[in-house]
């Protein structure tokens, strides 16, 4: 069970749409409309991604009148900062070793932007 929880956690962050939502919410709470406009996502895709983020404890919704406002769960913020530091160190090391491609991917291209 614990292994599956780790897998679900990292798969959530590996999903580009969910990662973009988390990144947007790092700047502050946003309404669904604000996220939709800022990220240019279809409403159904955004709702599905927000549901997954909520189920895995990344985001917390609250009501503000008729709107639903989303923010990051307070426990997630320090974890994301720790991950940022680790990724930055890893990226610098990979770049120094010549493993970073012109598109920014490490090793083989993951973004298909060659």
Whole-number Å distance between alpha carbons of 51 and 58: 10
| Interval 2-24 mean pLDDT | 92
Say yes or no to pLDDT of 114 above 70. no
Say yes or no to pLDDT of 91 above 90. no
Question: What pLDDT is recorded for position 1?
Answer: 65
| Interval 20-49 mean pLDDT | 95
Percent of the chain scoring above 90 in pLDDT: 65
Question: What pLDDT is recorded for position 56?
Answer: 93
| Bridge partner list, 71 | 60
Whole-prediction pTM value? 0.83
Query: Looking only at Cα atoms, what is the longest distance across the chain?
Result: 53
């Amino acid at each position: 069970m614990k292994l599956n929880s780790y897998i679900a956690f990292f798969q959530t962050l590996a999903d580009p749409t969910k990662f973009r939502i988390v990144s947007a919410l790092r700047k502050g709470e946003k309404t669904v409309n604000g996220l939709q406009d800022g990220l240019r996502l279809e409403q159904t895709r955004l709702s599905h991604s927000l549901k997954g983020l909520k189920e895995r404890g990344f985001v917390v919704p609250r009501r503000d009148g008729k709107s639903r406002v989303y923010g990051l769960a307070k426990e997630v913020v320090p974890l994301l900062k720790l991950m940022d530091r680790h990724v930055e160190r890893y990226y610098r090391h990979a770049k120094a070793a010549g493993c970073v491609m012109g598109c920014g991917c490490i090793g083989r291209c993951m973004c298909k932007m060659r």
